Structure 1
Amino acid sequence: MTTNHDVIQRWARARNAKPATIQGTEHDGRPGVLTFNFPGWREGGKIQQITWDDWFKTFDARRVNFIYQEQKSDGRQSNFFRTESPDRQDA
């Protein structure tokens, strides 16, 4: 788990993933659900690539943690991640 922008960018770049949001989840002109556009993976064409600046502005404004996995149990690289608020009662 991290909030460090460099760690998040390194993790994403190692997977050739680009910062993105899910179309239709925007709030007042700002990105909605934060995600990544991984090569070869599309969620019904709803993924919209955004800049790192926009991704991190939203990430920081929401004060969330980036929870991620480097490798699967079999040693292969993992693309698993999620963002989660440390203030959630059920977190």
Structure 2
Amino acid sequence: MISSLQDRPERPGRSLVTTNHDVIRRWARERGAKPATIGGTEREGRAGVLTFNIPGYRESSRIREITWDEWFHTFDMRRLNLIYQEQLRDGRQSNFFRTESPDREDG
């Protein structure tokens, strides 16, 4: 669990978990990623499936960029975790991420 900007993974390739907004923003900024949702998944006027628009990585006509405020409002309201990697095992930067609800029975 990464809970602050000072926390670091024990080794490259390790999957990490955070809910910290500053950690999430830093991870995204280092990759040129913008907060986004998948078009068509919105519900009741709020963002649907949360994702990031990462240049050259997650290209899809369904990705719709949103503000950080919208992204974090949905993230916090759904009580999600961000599971991500800083680096691959070989030390190269990783773009791996997914959001997960710790409340899901199959999660």
Q: After TM superposition, where is structure 1 displaced by more than 2 Å over at least 4 residues in a row? A: none
Of 58, 61, 66, 2:82 maps to 66
Instruction: Measure how far apart 1:29 and its partner are.
Output: 1.1
Of 36, 42, 53, 1:20 maps to 36
The answer for the alignment partner of 1:37 in structure 2 is 53
Instruction: Measure how far apart 1:90 and its partner are.
Output: 2.3
The answer for the alignment partner of 2:95 in structure 1 is 79
Structure 2 unpaired stretches of 5+: 1-16
TM-score, with structure 1 as normaliser = 0.94
Structure 1 unpaired stretches of 5+: none
CA distance in 1, matches of 2:72, 2:105: 24
Aligned CA-pair RMSD: 0.8
**Cα-to-partner distance string for 1:48-73 (whole Å, 9 max, x where unaligned):** 00000000000000001111111111
Aligned pairs, number = 90
CA distance in 1, matches of 2:40, 2:106: 26
Q: Which region of structure 1 is more displaced relative to structure 2, 50-59 or 71-80?
A: 71-80
CA distance in 2, matches of 1:87, 1:28: 21
Of 54, 68, 73, 1:52 maps to 68
TM-score, with structure 2 as normaliser = 0.81
Identity, % of aligned positions: 72
